[in-house]
């Protein structure tokens, strides 16, 4: 079935002319028409004639022998990347009608390599959330269900929940995501797919709407580890328009998968064995450790002593940067405008009408910690702790090649389950935030199901700009786990 392929499989099938890019694109458009009303994974679906024209151009390049890395592969684009001539909303009412006159660097590179864009996927508003419930266009629903509560709608994770749901349900072969504190890895784990957060600076942030500029990083969300490597090759590279972009060569990442991991040292952070960690998560972690031992890795305990301060630091730094970045949406320069008697009143009315509750909360938190009298006490101290967290990782990588942890402290939860408890919602990112603060690469790989039949993921963390080793170890985990489960909605739809 065409909507169940990996990128690698689809690319091979297109090259062999087993099917056409038009057929592949049409199958995904049909799946979107069938399933998106229930999932709400897409905010904007491109017109069929636009999608099929992209596919026809890809078929012509295959016929001419000039196909690119992603040629003819239908993917979803998180609606945080500006796409020229295509509505880009950041899932916010303040940008509900914004149509960019330019293309983000990441999407431009994907287009250059021949990717077929299906549409713009849903997300938490301005990427602020871990459940994809704060979108102004409605929540995204996971295609997965608990075996004992099949009628209970679950969250797909966030903020890249639309992308994770679309890939898991067969509405795209892959999708772009962004990761600020875990927004690629956590939804990937919740939806049983692969999610890769590259090293900070590996992919350009130009044309990607900013949440927290020192943390935001684009990455792929796919069905296999090799696919993540393939898509990262197309997305990555230096960009002079982004001052945080790293001038580094882009390796053939997909070739790292399948390499022997024998002799690699895998660190297990003792601080991640947190009290209250569910037994099924702990058991899956232990199974992952056993698989890597069987593959020839040496497993050792390491310490990351400042991990405990990761969430606290993150929820000072990220809102502070958010309050600065979102100041531009004032109803004058950008965004929805609400007329009022004075300029200050226009600002107030436009932002009140345009931003949802979670965004307003984070703007207020950020403005507070940056205000006179609190900057030194909160923001500056959080930045110092961030440095200590980064040093913990650097010291650990002096003795080990990668780290292995759970991706999330639980499987997906029900919509509304933690909605009124912001602290509990923020704890969903407890295992992903430290790596974001340190700027290191992280990969979430689906490895099994919990007792309720929901996916669980393990996270591989690596040195700065060493995505190849991360992908190699992730590939070894993937091969050992043999995760082939599909969500009920996907299977039931005949996709």
Which residues are part of the catalytic machinery? 78, 159, 183
- Integer CA distances (angstroms), 402 to 81, 110, 267, 303, 393, in order: 30, 29, 6, 13, 10
Six-digit token pair at 415? 């919509």
With 0-12 / 13-18 / 19 or more C-beta atoms within 10 angstroms meaning exposed / middle / buried, residue 299 is: middle
Report how far apart, in Å, the C-alpha atoms of 171 and of each of 3, 34, 37, 458 are.
7, 9, 12, 24
Q: Measuring CA to CA, how many Å separate 184 from each of 11, 189, 217, 225?
A: 23, 9, 9, 14
Whole-angstrom distance, CA of residue 155 vs CA of residue 165: 9
Instruction: Give 3-26 as a DSSP string.
Output: GG--HHHHHHHHHTTSS-HHHHHH
| Angle in degrees, CA 90, 177, 491, rounded to 5 | 110
Task: Identify the H or E element spanning 348.
Answer: helix 343-354
Question: Which whole-number Å values give the CA distances from 32 to 44, 203, 461, in the listed order?
Answer: 11, 28, 33
CB burial string 367-387: b at 16+ within 10 A, e below: bebbeeeeeeebbebbeebbe
Question: What 3-state class would DSSP assign to 327?
Answer: helix
Count the residues in the chain: 495
**Closest by alpha carbon to 74, among 106, 30, 34, 132?**
30
Angle at 457 between CA 454 and CA 463, to 5 degrees: 170
Rounded to the nearest 10 degrees, how much is the dihedral formed by the CA atoms of 272, 278, 280, 283?
A: 40
Name the nearest CA neighbour of 418 among 407, 409, 404, 428.
428
CA distance 145 to 451: 12
């Amino acid at each position: 079935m065409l909507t169940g392929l990996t990128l690698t499989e689809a690319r091979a099938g297109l090259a062999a002319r087993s099917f056409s890019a038009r057929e592949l694109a049409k199958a995904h458009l049909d799946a979107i028409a069938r399933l998106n009303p229930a999932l709400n994974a897409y905010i904007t679906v491109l017109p069929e004639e636009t999608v099929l024209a992209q596919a026809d151009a890809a078929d012509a390049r295959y016929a001419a022998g000039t196909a690119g890395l992603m040629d003819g592969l239908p993917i979803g684009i998180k609606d945080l990347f500006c796409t020229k001539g295509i509505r880009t909303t950041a899932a916010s009412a303040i940008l509900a009608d914004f149509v960019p006159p330019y293309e983000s660097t990441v999407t431009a590179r994907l287009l250059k390599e021949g990717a077929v864009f299906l549409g713009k996927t849903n997300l938490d508003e301005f990427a602020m959330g871990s459940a994809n419930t704060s979108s102004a266009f409605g929540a995204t629903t996971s295609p997965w269900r608990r075996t004992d509560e099949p009628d209970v709608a679950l969250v797909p994770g966030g903020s890249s929940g639309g992308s994770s749901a679309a890939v898991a349900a067969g509405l795209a072969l892959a999708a772009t995501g962004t990761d600020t504190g875990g927004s690629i890895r956590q939804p990937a784990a919740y939806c049983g797919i692969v999610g890769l957060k590259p090293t900070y600076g590996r992919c350009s942030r130009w044309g990607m709407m900013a949440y927290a500029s020192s943390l935001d990083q684009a990455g792929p969300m796919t069905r296999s580890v090799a696919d993540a490597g393939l898509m990262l090759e197309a997305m990555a590279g230096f960009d002079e328009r982004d001052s945080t972009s790293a001038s580094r060569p882009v390796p053939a990442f997909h070739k790292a998968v399948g390499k022997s991991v024998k002799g690699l040292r895998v660190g297990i952070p003792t601080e991640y064995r947190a009290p209250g960690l569910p037994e099924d998560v702990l058991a899956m972690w232990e199974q992952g450790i056993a698989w890597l031992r069987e593959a020839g890795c040496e497993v050792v305990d390491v310490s990351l002593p400042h991990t405990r301060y990761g969430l606290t630091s993150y929820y000072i730094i990220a809102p502070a940067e958010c309050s600065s970045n979102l100041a531009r949406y004032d109803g004058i320069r950008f965004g929805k405008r609400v007329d009022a008697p004075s300029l200050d009143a226009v600002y107030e009315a436009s932002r009140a009408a345009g931003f949802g509750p979670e965004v307003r909360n984070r703007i207020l938190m950020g403005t507070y910690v940056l205000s006179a009298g609190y900057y030194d006490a909160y923001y500056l101290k959080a930045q110092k702790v961030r440095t200590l967290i980064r040093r913990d990782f650097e010291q650990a990588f002096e003795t080990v090649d990668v780290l292995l942890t759970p991706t999330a402290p639980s499987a997906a939860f029900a919509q509304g389950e933690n909605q009124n408890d912001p602290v509990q919602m923020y704890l969903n990112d407890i295992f992903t935030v430290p790596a974001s603060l340190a700027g290191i690469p992280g990969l979430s790989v689906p490895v099994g199901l919990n007792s309720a039949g929901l996916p669980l993921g393990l996270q591989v963390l690596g040195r700065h700009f060493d995505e190849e080793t991360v992908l190699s170890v992730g590939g070894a985990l993937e091969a050992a786990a043999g995760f082939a489960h599909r969500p009920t909605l996907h299977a039931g739809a005949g996709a």
